[in-house]
Amino acid sequence: MLAEIITIGDEILIGQIVDTNSAWMAHELNNIGIRIKQISSVSDDRQHILTALDEAAGRADVILITGGLGPTKDDITKKTLCEYFGVGMVLNQEALDNVQNIFQRLRGTLTGLLEVNKQQALVPQNCVVIQNKNGTAPGMWFNEKGKIFVSMPGVPHEMMYMMEDDVIPKLKSSLVLPVIIHKTILTVGEGESYLAERIADIEDSLPAHIKLAYLPKLGQVRLRLSGYGENEALLKQEVNEYAQKIIERVANVVAAEEDIPIEKAILDYMDGKGLTLSIAESCTGGYISQLFTQHPGASRVFFGGGVTYSNELKEIILGVKKDTLAQFGAVSKEVATEMVEGALRNFKSGYAIAVTGIAGPDGGTAEKPVGTVYIAVANVNKTIVKKLTFGNKRRQNIERSAISALNMLNTLLHDSGKLG
Amino acid sequence: MLAEIITIGDEILIGQIVDTNSAWMAHELNNIGIRIKQISSVSDDRQHILTALDEAAGRADVILITGGLGPTKDDITKKTLCEYFGVGMVLNQEALDNVQNIFQRLRGTLTGLLEVNKQQALVPQNCVVIQNKNGTAPGMWFNEKGKIFVSMPGVPHEMMYMMEDDVIPKLKSSLVLPVIIHKTILTVGEGESYLAERIADIEDSLPAHIKLAYLPKLGQVRLRLSGYGENEALLKQEVNEYAQKIIERVANVVAAEEDIPIEKAILDYMDGKGLTLSIAESCTGGYISQLFTQHPGASRVFFGGGVTYSNELKEIILGVKKDTLAQFGAVSKEVATEMVEGALRNFKSGYAIAVTGIAGPDGGTAEKPVGTVYIAVANVNKTIVKKLTFGNKRRQNIERSAISALNMLNTLLHDSGKLG
C-alpha cells in the first residue's frame, strides 16, 4: 500500500519553515504498514496543485495533503480540490459551530466574527468532514477516482490530532494493509564503512524482503533493518533474528537496540540503574538540557543544571574559582573540570556533564579559535575532559558539542557499568 | 529562474529524519533570485530517481539533488545519475586524495582504507567535481540537457559548505538571475483574520508582482511580502513602501520588521537598550535558554540561568522557599513568582523569565492537569505571572510555554519602554 504526501505552501518553498509534518506523518503511516512513495512540496498555485495531485494519484493509493487551508487569500487548497474533483462547496454546520465556539472562547463574544472565518466552514460537497478540535479549518476525506485523498491543515498540532484521532483509524479500517517491520540499532563511536565491513557477511545473507540501511550522524551510525511481508509475527521474528546477529557482532558500539536518540538511550540506561544527572552548560546554552527534558520521565534521572553563560554565573552557580577563570580563561580544561565537579557537588547528582567553548562566530582567538570546546563528564570516581575542535558554524558547534558530550557520557556510563 | 530540490533517501520517507536541508537550500536559492518550484523526497530506488529527475527537469532549470552518496550499498544516486546521463564512471584523483587525507587524519594511517572508501572518488565522467571539505563524498555539477544538475551529500554540514563555497557562487556566475525581494513583518498577539481585516485595503492595492502571505504560529503571525521583478533597487523600494504601510497600520503588534524569530527580536531590542536577561526554567528544561543562545551575540544580553528541574535545584539555585514549594506545589503562581524574582536577584540581570508547569504525559492531577503552566516575566519594577493551560502533548507544551514566555517578555519590554 503506497501513499504520497503533498505539502502546499510557499513558506516551505522559500525556506521560511522546515517541513516537520511530513516526517511525522511518514512515521505514523509506516507504523501501520503504509509506505510513502514520495513527499512533494508545492506552491500555493492552482495549476501546480492540480498537477501534483494527478502525479501523486498516478503513483499511490492514498494522498495526504497538508496546508493551504487558512482563512486568507493565499490559501487556495480547498478551492483547487473542488476544481480537481469537479464539485462545488457546501456549508458544514458542525464546522461552522466549531469556528463559532473557538471564536467565542477566544474573544468572549461572537461579535466581530468575520466572513472569512465563516468561510472556513465551507467544504467541497463530495468530502467527509474531519472536525478540527484544535483550530478553525476542518479536514476533508475524499473517496474519489479509486483513491483516498485527505486534506488537513498545515499547522502541526492541528494535523497531528487529526491524524491520530481520525485519519489513522479510518485508514486502518478502510484498507487491507501489508506489514512493514523496522528495527533500528544505534551505534556510537565507529564509522559507517567500518561497521559495514564488520557485518558484510550478515548483510549479504539478508533475504530480498529485508533491507539494511546505514544512517550516519556525527559519531553515531544507525543501522536500520526493514522487512516487508504479510505475516507480522513471522516477519518481526525474522527481522529480529538478523538484528540480533548484528548486535552480537558489533556489541561494543551498540548504545540502543531501538530507534531512539542517544540522550534517550542514556536516560533509559540511567533510569534502569537508578543513576542521576546534572548539567553545566556554557556554549551549548541549554541545548543539552532540553535534549534530555524533551523526553517523558526525564525528571527521574535529570535534576537540572546551570546555563552558566556568563563568567559570573559560572562562579555563582557552579563555584568555579575566579582565579581559574582569570588564569586559564573560561574556555579551558581547568574551567571545564571545575564546572563538572561543581555540578556534581552543588546539584548532588551521581553524574554530570559540563561544556565550555567558543560557539562563534565571534570570540575566537589565535590560540583558541571559534569551534574550540572543552567537554567534561564525571561521576564521583572519575572526571574525563576532552578538547574538541569544530568549525566556524555556531549551530553546528553547539550540536556537535552536545552529541560529543552525550557520546562521552554514554561511554563513561558503560565503562563504569563494566568496572562496577 | 526555477529550481527543484530532490532529496534521495528512504530515511526521510519512513520519517526517521526531518528534511532540514531543503528549507535551508530553498532559503539560500531565494536569496539569489532562484525560485523553488517543487521539493520532492524520493526513495533510494533507481526507477523512482530517474522519474523524479525527468519530472524536475521538465519543470525547472536547476535541479539540486541531495543524498544517496554514502559508501554503502543502499546509496545508488551516483550510479543512477550515470544511467540518466548515459555515461560511465571515472576516478577523480583529487577526490581520492581527499578520502585518503580524511582517513589518515581520523585513523593516523592509511592501513585499513577500504575499497568502498576508494569508490567514493569515482564520479560520472560528464561531471565537474565539487570537492567535499567536510566529508568523503564529492559533489557533482552537470551541465546536461540544457539544465544544471548538482548532486550533493545529504549530510547537512557537508551540503551547506558545498552550497556556500561552490554551488551558490557557480550558479550566480552561470545564470542571469531575476530578482526576488522578500520582506517579513513579525507580529505578536493578534489573530490572522483580524490582521487581514485591518490591512485589507493595503492588500487589495498590491500590484500583481507583489504578493502577501500570512504565516501564523502560536500567537504570532508573520506577514510576508514577496516582490518579483528585474530592477533590484526599485523592487526593494516598492516592497518596502507597502511594508511600511502595513507596519504603520498594525504598529501595536509589530515585534520585528524582518524575518527573525521572536527571541532574536527580543535580543536585538534588549541589546540596543543595554538590557540583560536571565532565565529560570523548570518544565521547559533548557528549551528557552537554547532558543536565545543559538543566536550569535546572545551573550551581550543573556547571562544564563538555571534549569531547575527538581525542587531541590529550585531552592539551591533560585532560592525558592521550601515552604512555598510545600504549600503551593512546584507548579503554582507563588513558585513561578519566587523563581523569576530569584533569577533577578541571584543572576543580577535586569529582566528574567521563569516557567514552571506539567509538560506531561505524567504528573498531572485533577486540579493541575498536564498542560498547566505558570509563566512569569519580571524586571525590578514589575512581575507578571500568567497561568496557561495547554494540551497533553509534551513537546507542544514545552514549545507553547516557550513562545508564550517570549511573547510575554516582548510585551513587558515594549510596555516598559513606553512607560520609561
Per-residue pLDDT tens digits for A224-277: 999 988 898 999 999 999 999 999 999 888 999 998 999 999 999 999 999 999
Query: Is residue A104 within 8 Å of residue A110, measured between CB atoms?
Result: yes
- Roughly how many angstroms between the first and final C-alpha of chain A, as a whole number? 50
B266/B255 Cα distance (integer angstroms): 8
pLDDT at B419 over 60: no
- B309 with A294: Cβ contact below 8 A: no
pLDDT at A106 over 80: no
> Where exactly are the structural domains of chain B?
2-174, 179-256, 262-419
pLDDT at A112 over 80: no
Residue A342's pLDDT band (boundaries 50, 70, 90)?
Answer: very high
Shortest Cα–Cα distance, B330 to chain A (Å): 13
Shortest Cα–Cα distance, B40 to chain A (Å): 4
Residue A133's pLDDT band (boundaries 50, 70, 90)?
Answer: confident
A368/A389 Cα distance (integer angstroms): 9
Q: Which of B5, B8, B10, B13 to mutate to test the interface with A (most CBs of A within 10 A)?
A: B13
Chain B residue nearest residue A261, CA to CA: B16
Give the CATH architecture of domain A179-256: 2-Layer Sandwich (3.30)
**Diameter over CA atoms, chain B:** 77
- Which of the residue ranges A109-113, A207-211, B160-164 would you say has the lowest mean pLDDT? A109-113
Residue A103's pLDDT band (boundaries 50, 70, 90)?
Answer: confident
Shortest Cα–Cα distance, A116 to chain B (Å): 7
Helix axis angle, A394-419 to A262-273, nearest 10°? 30
Amino acid identity of B355? Answer: V
The minimal CB distance from B157 to the residues A37, A312, A393 is found for A393
The minimal CB distance from B307 to the residues A160, A307, A312 is found for A307
What is residue B420's predicted lDDT score, i.e. its pLDDT? 41
β-pair type (B277-281, B220-229): unpaired
| Residue B363 CB-half CA count within 13 A | 22
Place of cell 513568582: B337
Helix (H) or strand (E) holding B35: strand B35-42
Pick the CATH number of B2-174 from 3.40.980.10, 3.40.50.2300, 1.10.1740.10, 3.30.470.10: 3.40.980.10
How much is the average pLDDT of B259-272? 95
pLDDT at B84 over 70: yes
B106-156 pLDDT, tens digit per residue, is: 777 888 787 888 889 999 999 999 999 888 999 999 999 999 999 999 999
The minimal CB distance from A40 to the residues B25, B38, B394 is found for B38
Q: Which residues of B touch A359 (CB under 8 A)?
A: 293
Chain B residue nearest residue A282, CA to CA: B304
Task: Check if the interface score ipTM surpasses 0.85.
Answer: no
What is residue B396's predicted lDDT score, i.e. its pLDDT? 86
- A293 with B312: Cβ contact below 8 A: no
**Domain B262-419 coded CATH 1.10.3720.10:** no
CB atoms within 10 A of CB A390: 22
- A23 with B37: Cβ contact below 8 A: no
Q: Which residues of A touch B394 (CB under 8 A)?
A: 294, 296
What is residue A378's predicted lDDT score, i.e. its pLDDT? 98
Helix axis angle, B46-59 to B77-85, nearest 10°? 60
A66/A77 Cα distance (integer angstroms): 9
- Which of the residue ranges A375-379, B52-56, B65-69, B219-223 would you say has the lowest mean pLDDT? B219-223
Of A375, A354, A398, A309, the residue nearest B305 (C-alpha): A309
B14-30 pLDDT, tens digit per residue, is: 888 899 999 999 999 98
What is residue B418's predicted lDDT score, i.e. its pLDDT? 66
Q: Where are the alpha helices (DSSP H) in B32-76?
A: 46-59
Residue A285, phi then psi, degrees to nearest 5:
55, 35
B66-76 pLDDT, tens digit per residue, is: 999 988 777 89
Cis peptide before B216 (omega within 30 of 0): no
Angle at B26 between CA B21 and CA B30, to 5 degrees: 155
Q: In chain A, what percentage of residues exceed pLDDT 90?
A: 76
Cell numbers found for residue A407: 557520546
B351-374 pLDDT, tens digit per residue, is: 999 999 999 998 899 999 999 999
pLDDT at A24 over 60: yes
Q: In chain A, what percentage of residues exceed pLDDT 70?
A: 99
Angle at B341 between CA A398 and CA A348, to 5 degrees: 55
Looking at every residue in chain A, the average pLDDT score rounds to: 93
Q: Which of A5, A11, A72 to mutate to test the interface with B (most CBs of B within 10 A)?
A: A72
Of B83, B119, B410, the residue nearest B267 (C-alpha): B410
| Three-state DSSP string of chain A | CEEEEEEECHHHHCCCCCCCHHHHHHHHHHHCCCEEEEEEEECCCHHHHHHHHHHHHHHCCEEEEECCCCCCCCCCHHHHHHHHHCCCEEECHHHHHHHHHHHHHHHCCCCCCCHHHHHCCEEECCCEEECCCCCCCCEEEEEECCEEEEEECCCHHHHHHHHHHHHHHHHHHHCCCCEEEEEEEEEECCCHHHHHHHCHHHHHCCCCCEEEEEEEECCEEEEEEEEEECCHHHHHHHHHHHHHHHHHHCHHHEEECCCCCHHHHHHHHHHHHCCCEEEEECCCCCHHHHHHHCCCCHHHCEEEEEEECCHHHHHHHHCCCHHHHHHHCCCCHHHHHHHHHHHHHHHCCCEEEEEEECCCCCCCCCCCCCCEEEEEEEECCEEEEEEEECCCCHHHHHHHHHHHHHHHHHHHHHHHHHHC
- Which of the residue ranges A106-120, A263-277, A283-297, A366-380 would you say has the lowest mean pLDDT? A106-120
β-pair type (B372-379, B382-389): antiparallel
B368-403 pLDDT, tens digit per residue, is: 999 999 999 999 999 999 999 998 889 889 999 999
Q: Which residues of B touch A11 (CB under 8 A)?
A: 213, 215, 224
A30/B179 Cα distance (integer angstroms): 41
pLDDT at A410 over 50: yes
The minimal CB distance from A286 to the residues B71, B216, B289 is found for B289
Distances from the Cα of A4 to the Cα of A38, A66, A293, angstroms: 5, 11, 33
pLDDT at A420 over 70: no
B199-255 pLDDT, tens digit per residue, is: 999 999 999 999 998 888 878 899 999 998 889 899 999 999 999 999 999 988 899
Of B212, B223, B239, the residue nearest B188 (C-alpha): B223
The minimal CB distance from B304 to the residues A13, A36, A309 is found for A309
